[in-house]
Structure 1
Amino acid sequence: MVFDKKYSDEVRRLAVERVRQRRLEEPENRSIVREVAEEFEVGPQSLRKWLTRYDDGSYDYDPVPGSVAPAVFADGHGDGWEPRAATVGRQERRTTGQRELHARIEELEHRIAVLQEDNRSLTRVVSLLADQLRVATTNGVQIPDSTVRHAPRA
């Protein structure tokens, strides 16, 4: 069974656009998402998810010309609202971010591989030392305990 989208891309685009417009017009209104969800007959949680995906750049969305789009600040978050002309290259930012994530993943995978190899090496060393200790104690050699003080020899 193939998953069918419950809402069309057009409904998603219009609902996100409406929330963004109302946020500009009514910045003090905290029930905009709920009201717009009722207006478009979509779930409020779905609308919140679309807004979040739009704000972080993971949702391919081209607003209606002349409408509003988020301002992306130096930290990469879409915290503010500015006209569409102020946000150039959102797709480039997203692919750059994805490239950085992939590079970081590769770096961490390499680091994990190195640490796993170090762990295997240390396990071998501990095993060898344990074998030597076992041989020494079975041959009657007493290994001094570093916590016990021995009397000085005269």
Structure 2
Amino acid sequence: MAFERKYTDEVRTRSVETVIRRRRDEPGNRAIIREVAEEFDVGPQSLRQWLARYDDGSYDYDDDDGDREVTRRIGSSRQALTERIAFLERRILVLEEDNRSLTRVVALLSEQLRPLA
């Protein structure tokens, strides 16, 4: 017996987008998943699984009518975010090295300025 999907791709995509948007707009609300699950009449655990797939990058559902704009938009924003994180991590490494160099220079200068007793 083949597995039948209980929810449409549109419901999955819209509910995941709604959770992501509400998390951004309401960072203190800890009941977002439950509220969105009720709004879209889906199971909270199913919604959590869809969000986990979104987070690990495997969020991609077949779309029978060929309209994949929403999935493409999610994927492109995820790629842009990944690239931004990589850039910032490289920048942090450079700044940490600069900080170590400046600390060494300050130590050397402080030795030179210290009066000889």
Encode CA deviations 1:61-114: one digit per residue, 9 max, x unaligned.
Answer: 65378889443333xxxxxxxxxxxxxxxxxxxxxxxxxxxxxxxxxxxxxxxx
Kindly indicate whether the alpha-carbon contact (under 8 Å) linking 2:53 and 2:59 is maintained by their aligned counterparts in 1: yes
Output the TM-score relative to the length of structure 2.
Answer: 0.55
1:63 to 58, 67, 70: 70
Q: Greater RCO between the two (CA within 8 Å, min separation 6)?
A: 2
Looking at secondary structure, tell me which structure has more helix per residue: 2
Structure 1 counterpart of 2:49, which letter?
Answer: K
Q: 1:60 & 1:3 partners in 2: Cα distance?
A: 17
Name the residue aligned to 1:33: 33
Name the residue aligned to 2:52: 52
- Shift in Å at residue 3 of structure 1? 1.2
Looking at secondary structure, tell me which structure has more strand per residue: 1
Amino-acid identity (%):
59
Q: 2:50 & 2:41 partners in 1: Cα distance?
A: 14
Structure 2 unmatched runs, 5+: 62-68, 87-117
Kindly indicate whether the alpha-carbon contact (under 8 Å) linking 1:63 and 1:69 is maintained by their aligned counterparts in 2: no
Does 2:2 align with 1:7? no
Output the TM-score relative to the length of structure 1.
Answer: 0.42
| Stretches (4+) displaced over 3 A | 64-70
Structure 2 counterpart of 1:2, which letter?
Answer: A
Task: Give the count of matched residue pairs.
Answer: 74
